[in-house]
């Protein structure tokens, strides 16, 4: 078991998403977050941002998607254990992601502890200009798959 955890350190996944108009409206409708920051181009044109910004909760969902992608790529660890998210620490939004930007999410397992069955990972979201827009640490717990 210890070897399975040690082998996971350094495993990484990346994927990109464009923050399309349709996605912003679907997320707003699903969550009820119709804040002008996300929905009102004229309002936002008068602010320091100059245009609408994506929901930051949507960006956290992209982080969650990355945790699913990495779980599928952890070899023996994924075969012996199923993963459950324990949450995100130190989420920071360093710059806005604008409607129409393409964000790339990088997810890398930084440590793995067989004694706690946890695999913390570092997450970075970058826009199409390679500017870091958000960072976080994700804590994943690995639980044995029951054969009952």
DSSP 39-67: H-HHHHHTSSS-S-B--HHHHHHHHHHHH
Count of residues making up the chain: 148
DSSP 81-114: EEEEEEEEEEEEE-S--BTT-EEEEEEEE---BT
Predicted confidence at residue 148, as pLDDT, reads: 55
Condensed to tens digits (0 to 9), the pLDDT of residues 57-91 reads 999 999 998 888 877 766 666 677 788 899 999 99
Domains and CATH numbers, the chain: 2-19+56-144 (3.10.129.10)
Q: Would the pLDDT of 128 be above 80?
A: yes
Q: What is the pTM of this model?
A: 0.86
Q: Would the pLDDT of 94 be above 90?
A: yes
Q: Burial-class residue 99 by CB neighbours within 10 Å (0-12, 13-18, 19+).
A: buried
Condensed to tens digits (0 to 9), the pLDDT of residues 3-61 reads 667 777 888 889 999 999 999 999 999 999 999 999 999 999 999 999 999 999 999 99
Condensed to tens digits (0 to 9), the pLDDT of residues 99-108 reads 999 999 999 9
Dist CA 6 CA 119 (whole Å): 10
In this structure, the strands spanning 121-126 and 102-109 are antiparallel
Dist CA 31 CA 102 (whole Å): 22
Predicted confidence at residue 81, as pLDDT, reads: 78
Q: Would the pLDDT of 147 be above 80?
A: no
DSSP for residue 129:
T
Dist CA 35 CA 45 (whole Å): 14
Dist CA 75 CA 81 (whole Å): 10
């Amino acid at each position: 078991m210890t070897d399975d955890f040690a082998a996971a350190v350094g495993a990484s996944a990346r994927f990109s998403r464009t923050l399309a108009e349709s996605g912003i409206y679907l997320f707003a409708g699903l969550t009820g977050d119709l804040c002008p920051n996300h929905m009102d181009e004229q309002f936002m044109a008068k602010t320091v941002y100059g245009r609408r910004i994506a929901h930051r909760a949507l960006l956290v969902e992209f982080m969650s998607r990355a945790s699913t992608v990495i779980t599928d790529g952890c070899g023996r660890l994924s075969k012996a254990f199923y993963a459950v998210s324990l949450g995100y620490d130190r989420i920071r939004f360093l710059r806005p992601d604008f409607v129409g930007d393409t964000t790339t999410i990088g997810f890398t397992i930084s440590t793995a502890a067989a004694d706690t069955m946890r695999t913390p990972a570092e997450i970075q979201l970058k826009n199409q200009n390679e500017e870091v827009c958000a960072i976080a640490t994700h804590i994943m717990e690995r639980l044995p798959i029951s054969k009952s």
